[in-house]
Amino acid sequence: MTLLQTSYNMTKERDQIQTSYTHAIAEKYQLRDNLTKQTGKLQTSYNNLMKEKEQLQTSYNNLITERDQLQKRNNKLTKDNDHLQTSYNHLNTSQNWLENLTKQRDQLQTGYNNVTKELDQLQSSYIRLQERDQLQTSHNDLIRERHQLEGNLTRQIYQLQTGHNDLIRERHQLEGNLTRQIYQLQTSYDKLVKENDQIQTSYDNLAEEKDQIQTGHKSLKQERDQLQTSHNDLIRERHQLEVKELSTAAQEVQKKMGVFSGSLYQVSSTKKTWDQSRSDCRQKGADLLIINSSESEQAFANRFQKYMWIGLTDVTNEGSWNGKVFFFSSYWSSKEPNGGKDENCVDIKNFNAEKSWNDESCSLSLLWICEKKLFQ
C-alpha cells in the first residue's frame, strides 16, 4: 500500500512538473514575443535617432561652416574695424562712418549671438546623441539579458526533461519492485496456507493424543488410588511392627541397662576418651550421665564402684561447666576441680565419698555411663 501511495505521489508530482513545464514554455514564448516587440520598438527608435543624428550632424556641419565663415567675416570685420578705428583715431572726423561701423559691429554682434545660440543647440543635440548612445547600450544589455534568459530557459527545459526521464525510470523501477513484492506476497501466502493446513493436521493429531492421554490419566489415577490404599495398609502394618520392635527393644534394654528415676542407664565395658564416650551414647539416642541430685550421686558412685566419664566439660569456656559456673559445685571432691585448662572433662573417681567428681584430661581413656530419658 505504501509503494502504491508513493507511486501515486510521484505521478502527481510528475503532472505538477509537466504543468510547470507547460507554464514555463508559455512564459518563454510570451517573453520572446515581448522581447521581439521591444526589439522592434528599440530598432525603430534607433533608426529615428540615427536619422536625427544624421540631420543634426548635417546641421552641425552647416553651422560649423557658417561659424567659420562668420569667424572669417568677424576677423575681417575686426581688421576692418581696426582700420576704421585707426582711421577714426586719425581722422576722427567722419561721424557717419563711425555710425556705420557701429551698426556693422552691432550686426556682427547679433550674428555672433546667433552663432552662439546655434552652438548651444548643437550642444543640446550632442547631449541627445549621448543619451541615444546610452539607450543603444541599454538595448544591447537587454539583448544580452534576453539571450541569457533564453539560455536559462533552455537549461531549465533540459533539466525538466531530464527529471521527467528520471521519473519515468523510477516509475518503471517501482512497477518492477511492486511486481516482485506482489509475487513474494503471493508466495508467502501460499506458504502460510500450507503451514495452516499442517497446523490443522497437527491440531487434530494433538486432539487425538489428548484424548488418549486423558484416558491414560484416568487409568493412572485409578492405579494411584489403589497404590495409595496399599501404601496406607503398609504404613499401618509398619507402625504395628515398629510398636512390636520397640516393645522388644525396651525389654532388651531393660535387661542390659539399669533403670533409675525415669531413665535408663548403661555402663560401658570398654574404655574411651570423653569425646568418644559421648559419641557412643548419642549413637544410642542417649548422652553421658548428668548428676543433679545427691541421691543420683550416691547411687551411681556407690553402685558401680568404677572410674566413669559423666557429661560435664568446660572445654568451651574454662570454669563454666556445661555453660554454668560452679555447676553442681557440692559434688566436687576435695580440692577439685584443680586441673585448669589441662583437665576439662569430669569423671566419678572417689566413689566411696559423698562427693566424687574429679576433673581429668579429656584424652584419658575411661569407662563411661550413658543416660536415656524414658519420658522427655
User: Average pLDDT in the 26-39 region?
Assistant: 84
Nearest-angstrom CA–CA distance, 281 and 311: 10
Cell of 253: 534394654
Residue 275 in this model has a pLDDT that exceeds 90: yes
Nearest-angstrom CA–CA distance, 323 and 372: 21
Nearby residues of 288 by Cβ (< 8 Å), 6 or more positions away = 274, 277, 278, 281, 309, 310, 311, 368, 369, 370, 371
Question: What's residue 97's pLDDT?
Answer: 66
Question: What's residue 361's pLDDT?
Answer: 93
What Rg do the C-alpha atoms of the chain give, in angstroms?
A: 74
Question: What's the pTM?
Answer: 0.33
Q: What percent of the chain has pLDDT over 70?
A: 84
Question: What's residue 5's pLDDT?
Answer: 72
Question: What's residue 330's pLDDT?
Answer: 61
3-state secondary structure of 341: helix
pLDDT tens digits, 41-66: 888 888 888 888 888 888 888 888 88
pLDDT tens digits, 321-361: 775 555 445 678 888 888 888 888 988 887 667 778 888 99
* 279: confidence class by pLDDT, cuts 50, 70, 90: very high
Residue 238 in this model has a pLDDT that exceeds 90: no
Question: What's residue 184's pLDDT?
Answer: 84
User: Average pLDDT in the 253-259 region?
Assistant: 44
Give which of 49, 26, 38 is closest to 145, Cα–Cα.
Answer: 38
Alpha helix ranges (H) inside the chain? 2-91, 95-256, 274-283, 294-304
Residue 283 in this model has a pLDDT that exceeds 90: yes
Beta partners for residue 272, in sequence order: 366
Question: What's residue 331's pLDDT?
Answer: 75
Nearby residues of 348 by Cβ (< 8 Å), 6 or more positions away = 300, 301, 304, 306, 307, 308, 310, 356, 357, 358
Nearest-angstrom CA–CA distance, 343 and 357: 12
CATH entry, 261-373, from 3.30.70.2190, 3.10.100.10, 3.40.50.720, 3.30.1360.70 = 3.10.100.10
- Lowest average pLDDT, out of 17-31, 81-95, 175-189, 233-247, goes to 233-247
Give which of 277, 29, 256, 268 is closest to 149, Cα–Cα.
Answer: 29
CA distances from 219 to 83, 206, 229, 254 (A): 170, 19, 16, 52
Phi, psi at residue 262, to the nearest 5°?
75, 15
Question: What's residue 254's pLDDT?
Answer: 44
Beta partners for residue 332, in sequence order: 357
First vs last C-alpha separation in the chain: 86
User: Average pLDDT in the 100-109 region?
Assistant: 80
Beta partners for residue 373, in sequence order: 263
Cell 510528475 -> residue: 14
Higher pLDDT, 294 or 22: 22
Nearby residues of 152 by Cβ (< 8 Å), 6 or more positions away = none
Residue 253 in this model has a pLDDT that exceeds 50: no
Whole-number average pLDDT of the chain: 79
Nearest-angstrom CA–CA distance, 104 and 88: 15
- Lowest average pLDDT, out of 35-44, 222-231, 316-325, goes to 316-325
Question: What's residue 242's pLDDT?
Answer: 46
Residue 119 in this model has a pLDDT that exceeds 80: no
- Lowest average pLDDT, out of 1-15, 105-119, 290-304, 306-320, goes to 290-304
Residue 199 in this model has a pLDDT that exceeds 80: yes
